[in-house]
Chains A and B, each alone.
Chain A
Amino acid sequence: MVNRGQSVLLVLLLLLPLSNLKAEKVETIEDPLQDKLIALEHNVSKSGVRQVEFTEERFFSFRKKPIELEGILRLWSGVGVSISYPKKKTLLIADDLGVLVRKFRNNGSFRQKSMNVERLDTIYLLKAAFEFDRTGLERLFHLEWEENDDQWSIIMTPRREDEKKIKEVMMSGCELEIKRIDLVFVGEKKIVIHPKEEQLKEAFSQEEQSKYFRSPMDEKG
């Protein structure tokens, strides 16, 4: 079963382009939302090493059907987060040093480069993700809570209206289970994430560590 907290992490990772959105002040949030966030935080703190499979749909105005991708999210507490797209031989790594994109060749070797994401906010967001830093989220977004029978949604809208790419993020679920995450971008682009299987692990193997996370020898970028 999908862990809701992990799904939140996934959302946060995908929110990296939002990096320079800044809030003028922190607003107090409603109680039902507060309860939900506390519950999610509780789930996140259970295990330091997790692996979540997901499907991703990318919607573009000029494409009649969405692009469909399958990915795996790997979480390693205190180290970083990685998202791999095995069929595309692409991997995104986010840690204290920033965001790194790896493209794998057929022989297993890879080339990598950093993504143009402002460093301090990336670190901040990841930290918020690992600790489920509610204050951090509230600084970036107006948070709204919607509930209908047993279905719930958290709607996050950026506090600053500027040239940045994300218009809205919506996390929907049932009880403590996240079913779907929608990221709506400017230019009629949208990403929909459907979390699937989750694996809880004691630790990543040496091979997984070197393949899916930044090694100490890697330069930043």
Chain B
Amino acid sequence: MNARILRFCFIVALVLAGIYLTQVDYSSKLETDVSSLLPQVETEEARVARRLISEEQGRAVYLELSGLPIGKEDAAVFEKIVLERLQGDSIVGSVVKLDQKTHLDAFKIVANHRLELLFPKWMEGKRESFLEERSEGEDFFKWAAISAVEDMDVFLESPSAMELARPELMDPLLLNISNLIALNENESGGFASMSSDMEEGVQYYWLTLAEPPLSPITQETLEILIDEIEKELIEKDSGLQFKYGGLVKLAGASRERIQGDIFKINLLSVLGVFIVSSVLLRKPWMLLLTVPTLLAGVIGAMSVLFLVFDQVNIIVLIVGAILIGTAIDYAIHLIFTEKAEADFPTRKLITYACLSTVVGFFILLFADLILIRQIGVFVGAGLLCAYLMARLSIGSKSRHKQMALRGIRKTEKGRAFVAVVACAVILVGGWGLFGLEWKDDIHNLEAPDNDLVQEDLALRERLGSNSTGSLFLITGNSYLDVFEKEEHLMELVSERFPGKGGFGVSKFLPSRSEIESIEMTKAELPRFFDALSIAFEDGGYAIEEFGDFFISATSFVEALRNKSERYEILIEDFANGLKGPMAGVIGESDGHYWSLSSLNLSTEEAIEISSLQEEVTLFSQLSFLNKTLDKHRKTLLFFGVFAMLFVAGVILFAFGGKKGGLVVFYPFLGGGVAIGICALLFGELNMFHLIGCFLGGAIALDYALFAIESYSRASGIPHSVWLSAGTTTASFLALSFSAIPVVQSLGMMVALLACVTLLLLHVSRAFLTKSLHE
């Protein structure tokens, strides 16, 4: 095809792509949800975890209304306003005012079915105590009955007796009371038992959003709604304060910071490129000649990205700086290669450099982490478009080559200094490789506002939710299956770390083995209830005052058959009735059941426990996703190495063993040194350092191609390579100013790799020139 037609077609395609980009609804296309980075092929645990993070718990919003007038009637006026406004907005799914009543209501089902739901565990607990304390020949049921009377006496003498002895909660076994006391004693960990002192003049609300919390529309709508309510409240009483928290607020703040980051980094990148070109170019304005190539790269990258993916993670756009730094190289090589080297195969070299890099990045499409695939498409498509634009728009008869670049003054002293620096860099990098450690932290993918996070934690704590402790996710085929596993977890914790424990609903709801145990003793249970009534009569109690407890006990025993199914239904009702902070502690979706347990373990202890018991997962947005990222870093390494091997194969095939081998060797060496230096700088390396290695490797390969080709012609590294290295380093160093730690990692790794490779190529000039001429 005629080059002119090809150019025309390409430009038309770019214009169309540009028009498409103006039509894209960025608010719905861009997402900031780090949990969406999870792979598509998920385990059941991953699916449940993602749902809990993004949906169940993610939709929770907690509100604090403080400064209320003392006095129920006065406060009720404001309560009415808050509830009416919240309930009247479609963004709010449900809203609950948190108080003692909400707490007790949540346990109504348990209270109404205390024998079915609580008695099996009580009986098992007594059986265990009996085994430890029994005398020879003692009857278990009689012992348990007398023990129940003793428990009641102790309770009635305690301060709680006057506080909690509501008639409807009372029974001779204290089934409800003991569980309420356990919850009130802050044993419920992160689930907030609402037992904390609710201060006078303060009201707390817990609302569940009807819309996804990570959508910008949800975040903005909620913010407006809260502002409006606050304004209305303050109009009536200027002393009122209305605060809210939750994932929706944190994610909104994080999104705003990331958006700010995109602008800041790309601006800094352009500024850096301008400064470098001002230093290296005689006429810096000539760098404007690279603008069409850059534009083509950016338009091509974004349009292909948005066409291929329904939703794009915003972090990919921050990587735009990488594109600017790399895509500009093609134009620089074509525009600024010196006239004296007119026969220099610039086009061939950038063709190999581009195609190998693009193929390398497209190989990332096979990775199962969606973010990696998006980066692969973004960089691959962008570089290809930039290359095509450079080739089609910059002719071989470019008039700008002659004397475009400032000369670089070289002295013997300077050469010696550079050689010493190179040696030092290799030594430092080598040293760093010895202590190399990899660790991914999902928090590094976000741009959190630490003050806001602390404020949010403080607010949650005022609602009674303890932010310390480790959450464990347990999944199973039924609730009873889940509770059985949870009990094993608790036993494991107390064995491994004596004195440590925690809270999970299995603390009071029965496990399968406890139900089976009760069913097995069905024939003997009437004897126990008889012994119980006798023991209470003898202990000075009027058993008829315990309501219908003993009548219920008889019918409970008679109906003891296939209890497991009945329990599942009751527990499901209980799960559905949970409100506020307790909601989502247990649940079911698509036939898969889960529970969350809060254990007072340190992070290290929690990791140890989760590695010992396979059915449980240490659960938190942090630890769960870290585990996933850790796993996928290994996959990324596999694909990355495969891509690099492919590129190396192409280079070896095209340039022969010796020349090709050297072209491959220097970026490899530069990569090793850069990894070592980053290990010293960052302590632990993450997946984004690895991505930086592949990106930097592609850029370094470009430099190596030009340098080795030049050395084979007995001349030095082309000035265009220096200019290219300068602009690349400037644009990547811009990433170091990002608020997102992984973006800093990426920028530093690429800049270091490119610089170190060029330095090594530079100091090896004499050796390489000689060796290539032999």
Chain A residues with a Cβ under 8 A of chain B: 17, 20, 22, 58, 60-65, 67, 69, 85, 88, 90, 92, 98, 101, 113-121, 165, 185, 187-189, 191, 221
A58 touches B156 (CB 8 A): yes
A64 touches B540 (CB 8 A): yes
Cβ-neighbour of B199 out of A120, A165, A188 (below 8 A): A120
Chain B residue numbers with a CB within 8 Å of A69 are 157
Cβ-neighbour of B71 out of A22, A101, A114, A116 (below 8 A): A22
Chain A residue numbers with a CB within 8 Å of B710 are none
A64 touches B158 (CB 8 A): no
The 9 closest A-B pairs by CB, nearest first: A62-B545, A120-B200, A187-B167, A61-B545, A67-B156, A64-B540, A118-B200, A65-B540, A63-B541
Chain B residue numbers with a CB within 8 Å of A101 are 159
Chain A residue nearest in CB terms to B172: A62
Given known contacts A116-B163, A118-B197, A119-B199, A60 and B158 CB-to-CB distance under 8 angstroms: no
Report how far A120 CA is from B70 CA in the complex, Å. 9
Report how far A206 CA is from B338 CA in the complex, Å. 91
Query: Considering the complex, which residues of chain B in the window 186-208 have a beta carbon less than 8 Å from any beta carbon of chain A?
Result: 186, 195-201
Report how far A117 CA is from B160 CA in the complex, Å. 12
B542 at the A interface (CB under 8 A) = yes
A116 touches B165 (CB 8 A): no
Report how far A60 CA is from B72 CA in the complex, Å. 30
B163 touches A63 (CB 8 A): no
Cβ-neighbour of B163 out of A85, A115, A118, A188 (below 8 A): A115
B541 touches A64 (CB 8 A): yes
Report how far A98 CA is from B165 CA in the complex, Å. 22
A187 touches B166 (CB 8 A): yes
B161 at the A interface (CB under 8 A) = yes
Report how far A123 CA is from B541 CA in the complex, Å. 37
Report how far A92 CA is from B161 CA in the complex, Å. 14
Cβ-neighbour of A63 out of B72, B156, B196, B199 (below 8 A): B156
B684 at the A interface (CB under 8 A) = no
Output the residue of B72, B157, B162, B166 with the most chain A CB within 10 A: B162
Report how far A69 CA is from B161 CA in the complex, Å. 13
A119 touches B165 (CB 8 A): no
Cβ-neighbour of A62 out of B170, B197, B199 (below 8 A): B170
B543 at the A interface (CB under 8 A) = yes
Chain B residue nearest in CB terms to A121: B200
B72 touches A191 (CB 8 A): no
Query: Considering the complex, which residues of chain B in the window 334-358 have a beta carbon less than 8 Å from any beta carbon of chain A?
Result: none
A20 touches B153 (CB 8 A): no
Chain B residue numbers with a CB within 8 Å of A115 are 159, 163
B156 touches A20 (CB 8 A): no
Cβ-neighbour of A221 out of B153, B165, B197, B198 (below 8 A): B197
Give chain B nearest CB distance to A66 CB in angstroms. 9
Report how far A85 CA is from B159 CA in the complex, Å. 10
Given A120-B199, A121-B200, A189-B162, 8 other A-B residues pairs in contact with their CB atoms under 8 A: A63-B156, A64-B540, A65-B540, A85-B157, A113-B186, A115-B163, A116-B184, A165-B162
Cβ-neighbour of B165 out of A60, A64, A92 (below 8 A): A60
B546 at the A interface (CB under 8 A) = yes
* Binary per-residue interface labels of chain B (134-172) against chain A in the complex, 1 for a CB within 8 Å, 0 otherwise: 000000000000000000010011110111011100100
A189 touches B159 (CB 8 A): no
Given known contacts A22-B71, A62-B542, A63-B156, A116 and B162 CB-to-CB distance under 8 angstroms: no
B185 at the A interface (CB under 8 A) = yes
Given known contacts A58-B156, A61-B545, A62-B546, A119 and B161 CB-to-CB distance under 8 angstroms: no
Chain A residue numbers with a CB within 8 Å of B546 are 62
Cβ-neighbour of B541 out of A17, A62, A191 (below 8 A): A62
A-B contacts, 11 of them at CB < 8 A, read A20-B200, A22-B71, A63-B156, A63-B541, A116-B100, A116-B197, A119-B197, A120-B70, A165-B163, A187-B167, A188-B167
Chain A residue numbers with a CB within 8 Å of B199 are 118-120
Chain A residue numbers with a CB within 8 Å of B72 are 20, 22
Report how far A205 CA is from B369 CA in the complex, Å. 68
Chain A residue numbers with a CB within 8 Å of B543 are 62
B157 touches A185 (CB 8 A): no
Report how far A113 CA is from B195 CA in the complex, Å. 11
Chain A residue numbers with a CB within 8 Å of B545 are 61-62
Chain B residue numbers with a CB within 8 Å of A187 are 165-167
Given known contacts A69-B157, A187-B166, A116 and B195 CB-to-CB distance under 8 angstroms: yes
Chain B residue numbers with a CB within 8 Å of A185 are 162
B197 touches A117 (CB 8 A): yes
Cβ-neighbour of B542 out of A61, A88, A118, A121 (below 8 A): A61
Chain A residue numbers with a CB within 8 Å of B165 are 60, 187, 189
Output the residue of B72, B185, B543 with the most chain A CB within 10 A: B72
Chain A residue numbers with a CB within 8 Å of B200 are 20, 118-121
B162 touches A58 (CB 8 A): yes
Chain A residue numbers with a CB within 8 Å of B159 are 90, 92, 101, 115
Chain A residue numbers with a CB within 8 Å of B71 are 22
Chain B residue nearest in CB terms to A165: B162
A67 touches B157 (CB 8 A): yes
Chain B residue nearest in CB terms to A91: B159
Give chain A nearest CB distance to B459 CB in angstroms. 18
Give chain A nearest CB distance to B458 CB in angstroms. 15
A64 touches B185 (CB 8 A): no
Chain A residue numbers with a CB within 8 Å of B161 are 58
* Binary per-residue interface labels of chain B (535-574) against chain A in the complex, 1 for a CB within 8 Å, 0 otherwise: 0000011110110000000000000000000000000000
Given known contacts A20-B72, A62-B170, A64-B541, A114 and B197 CB-to-CB distance under 8 angstroms: yes
Give chain A nearest CB distance to B465 CB in angstroms. 15
Report how far A118 CA is from B196 CA in the complex, Å. 10
Chain B residue numbers with a CB within 8 Å of A58 are 156-157, 161-162
Chain A residue nearest in CB terms to B171: A62
* Binary per-residue interface labels of chain B (166-184) against chain A in the complex, 1 for a CB within 8 Å, 0 otherwise: 1100100000000000001
B163 touches A17 (CB 8 A): yes
Chain A residue numbers with a CB within 8 Å of B156 are 58, 60, 63, 67
Report how far A117 CA is from B196 CA in the complex, Å. 10
Chain A residue numbers with a CB within 8 Å of B100 are 116
* Binary per-residue interface labels of chain B (59-92) against chain A in the complex, 1 for a CB within 8 Å, 0 otherwise: 0000000000011100000000000000000000
Given known contacts A58-B161, A64-B542, A98 and B197 CB-to-CB distance under 8 angstroms: yes
Chain A residue numbers with a CB within 8 Å of B541 are 62-64
Chain B residue numbers with a CB within 8 Å of A90 are 158-159
Report how far A22 CA is from B69 CA in the complex, Å. 12
Report how far A67 CA is from B159 CA in the complex, Å. 12
Give chain A nearest CB distance to B72 CB in angstroms. 6
Chain A residue nearest in CB terms to B194: A116
Give chain A nearest CB distance to B401 CB in angstroms. 75
Give chain B nearest CB distance to A118 CB in angstroms. 5
Report how far A201 CA is from B531 CA in the complex, Å. 52
Report how far A88 CA is from B198 CA in the complex, Å. 28
Give chain A nearest CB distance to B609 CB in angstroms. 25
Report how far A22 CA is from B200 CA in the complex, Å. 12
A118 touches B198 (CB 8 A): yes
